[in-house]
Amino acid sequence: MMRKITPVIEWGTLLLSTGMVCFFMVVILWDLISKGAPSLSWEFVSTLPRAGMTKGGILPAIIGTVLLTMITALVSVPFGISCAIYLNEYATDNWLTRTIRASIRNLSGVPSIIYGLFGLALFVQGLQMGTSMLSAGFTLGLLSLPYVIITTEEALRRIPASTREAALAVGATQFESIRDVVMPTALPGILTGVVLTLSRAAGETAPILFTGVAFYINNPAGFLNQEFMALPYHLYMLSTQHQAIEQVRPLAYGTALVLIIVVFLLNLTAFYIRYKHSKND
Amino acid sequence: MKLGVRESIDKSIKLVVKTTGLLVIAILGGIFFMLLWNTIAFFLKIHPLDFITGTQWNPSGDPEVYGILPLLVSTCLVTLGAMVIAIPLGIGTAAYLSEYASMRVKSVLKPMIEMLAAVPSVAIGFLGIVVLGPGIADIIGLSNGLNAMNGAILLAVMALPTIITVTDDALHGVPGTYREASYGVGASKWQTLIKVTIPAAGPGIMAAVMLGVGRAIGETMTVLMATGNAAAFPKGFFHSVRTITATIAIEMGEVPYQTTHYYSLFAIAAVLFLITLGVNLTGEYFVNKFRKYHSA
């Protein structure tokens, strides 16, 4: 009797923990979708907030998050890819390379709020850029940098040495081999990493708290030297700081759902690139 | 193009990419220098011993008191709670994925766990306010559920994807011969998992746990929204707490530049930085140990 029951209990323990994890995911999605969907409408995503945030839409927050993510990409992608190329293609194994690698690993573990402080000290105060979209975008760019480097280097490492040697053998310089042979081959892998990193940056709140995000701006977003609205911060303010919290709860749910949709769409894009690439191999 | 020109392009590109590599060191150095500089400015006004052993954090009081202990204990309490939940669940799920699950189940579960990792922290915090908080308040009979337990459960949810993914990799890293040897002497699947596979993957699992701890300690928005942020010394899991990260987030927006209060926030950030650095280095130690162990 025991012999039959014991494996069921043992297996059940593992299944139970897996079930709990799935349960968390289902609760998160179910709650956000079921309560957020009624707030979603064309008006919600295409108009400005009205009546002290209790009515209207979240257009400026959407524009703010999109522009902010673009600045993040402009800072972290060229910088990160260049650094990864140095590490994987040019650098030899010496103390300098090891220091760079150690720095990258440490940077990827630095809490996001500390990036916020660094952005405040460097961009807002040090470089006199003020609390603005540029300051916040640069801060998020620095935060994303280690992830871009790590994923790009992984993609470069998967290219076999023979591919590079073939290019060198027909007379290409090292740069030409990287530009014309290595990069095009590694591109899908790099893109997957970049899009995943940007999806994380789009949902970040702590680094932009002191570097430029605002609860309300009355001009439409788009001025790089001004404060801006962003989806994650908008959700934070609506759910904790608004004077009529119960009244704006549907708007908070709507904002949360839009934010999740933006992040998941970016993730699906990354999965799609990876899936297409793995089929070609 | 002449070969000489092409070679000089190659050389200058090499210089450019090397510069970006050096800039990465400069960024970490910059963060370190910023924390150090402001912390020194803070210690010129407040004695370090008062800071480290002080049991009260009240920068707007009279006199101003800057004791980090309540914040530190809050951070540790929430992280500890999160790990008590996340470590068994994470290892259990990873063991299921790696040892029991069929390919079909895996192809559903793995993307799901990746999706869970992608949910922004502010959305998790929001659910702490609207779902988990009221739930805890109902069950325990409190007026509101914004307390350390709420934050701990949410942080567990956020740390789970990291712990599961890295533990799963560690279990996969254990050679099949280990399991076969165990089956060969008559052990069941479960005995093999508990007595052979998990111990063999031990350092890798420790690395997973350390990554989860690092993520939980440094998390800001979730704890800021879910734990109530009372400045008093933490009394337990069902009381409101205020972590280091939440304190920085709340107070940095309001302080005037270059005041003692302003510097104090960099000082607690420096403590946070050192803790996460220690946790990450420990994790790295275990990763290297795991690698060496299995390549030998």
Shared-domain flag, residues A171 and A190: yes
3-state secondary structure A56-97: ECCHHHHHHHHHHHHHHHHHHHHHHHHHHHHHHHHCCCCHHH
Give the mean pLDDT of A62-71: 89
Q: A24 and B280 in contact by Cβ < 8 A? A: no
Interfacial B residues in 192-251 facing A (CB < 8 Å)? 214, 217-221, 224-225, 245, 248-249
User: Quick one: closest CA in A to B214, which residue?
Assistant: A109
Q: B123 and A203 in contact by Cβ < 8 A? A: yes
Q: Does A268 touch chain B (CB under 8 A)?
A: no
pLDDT score at A90: 87
What are the tens digits of pLDDT across the range A86-119? Answer: 998 888 888 888 889 989 988 998 999 999 999 9
Q: Which range marks the domain in which residue A27 is found? A: 2-39
Give the position of tokens 């303010």.
A237
Shared-domain flag, residues A27 and A51: no
Q: Does A34 touch chain B (CB under 8 A)?
A: no
Shared-domain flag, residues A156 and A270: yes
Shared-domain flag, residues A215 and A245: yes
pLDDT score at B294: 64
CA distance B222 to chain A (A): 10
Shared-domain flag, residues A116 and A90: yes
Q: Chain centroid to CA B36: how far?
A: 22
Query: How far apart, in Å, are the Cα atoms of A143 and each of A99, A255, B200?
Result: 19, 24, 35
Contacts of A20 in chain B (CB under 8 A): 89, 93
Give the position of tokens 């009355």.
A218
CA distance B200 to chain A (A): 19
Shared-domain flag, residues A13 and A150: no
Give the mean pLDDT of A229-248: 84
Q: Does A180 touch chain B (CB under 8 A)?
A: no
3-state secondary structure B54-83: CCCEECCCCCCEECCHHHHHHHHHHHHHHH
User: Quick one: closest CA in A to B153, which residue?
Assistant: A24
Report ipTM for this prediction.
0.90
Query: What architecture (CATH level 2) is domain B57-295?
Result: Orthogonal Bundle (1.10)
pLDDT score at A52: 65
Which CATH number does the domain housing residue A99 bear? 1.10.3720.10
- Residues 6 or more apart whose Cβ sits within 8 Å of residue B199: none
Tokens linked to A258: 């839009």
pLDDT tier at A220 (50, 70, 90 boundaries)? Answer: low
Q: A83 and B24 in contact by Cβ < 8 A? A: yes
pLDDT at A140 over 60: yes
Q: How far apart are CA B59 and CA B79, in angstroms?
A: 25
Shared-domain flag, residues A33 and A77: no
Q: Which amino acid is at A270?
A: A
pLDDT at A3 over 80: no
pLDDT at A60 over 60: yes
Shared-domain flag, residues A258 and A206: yes
Interfacial A residues in 194-223 facing B (CB < 8 Å)? 196, 199-200, 202-206, 209-210
Give the mean pLDDT of A183-195: 89
* Mean pLDDT in order along chain B per 10 residues (296 residues): 83 89 92 93 86 82 83 92 93 90 87 88 92 85 83 93 92 88 88 89 90 92 88 81 91 85 92 93 85 64
Domain count, chain A: 2
Q: In DSSP terms, which residues pair with A213 in a beta bridge?
A: A228
User: Quick one: closest CA in B to A19, which residue?
Assistant: B93
pLDDT score at A198: 92
Q: Does B35 touch chain A (CB under 8 A)?
A: yes
pLDDT score at A137: 92
Contacts of A32 in chain B (CB under 8 A): 123, 127
> Residue A214, SS3?
coil
Q: How far apart are CA B89 and CA B87, in angstroms?
A: 6
DSSP state at residue A126 = I
pLDDT score at A119: 92
Shared-domain flag, residues A197 and A74: yes
Contacts of A112 in chain B (CB under 8 A): 218, 220
Residue among B31, B106, B189, B252 with most chain A CBs within 10 A, to mutate = B31
Rg (CA), chain B: 24
Contacts of B109 in chain A (CB under 8 A): 18, 22
pLDDT score at B6: 86
Q: Does A187 touch chain B (CB under 8 A)?
A: no
Q: Does B80 touch chain A (CB under 8 A)?
A: no
pLDDT at A277 over 60: yes
Interfacial A residues in 41-70 facing B (CB < 8 Å)? none
pLDDT at A81 over 90: yes
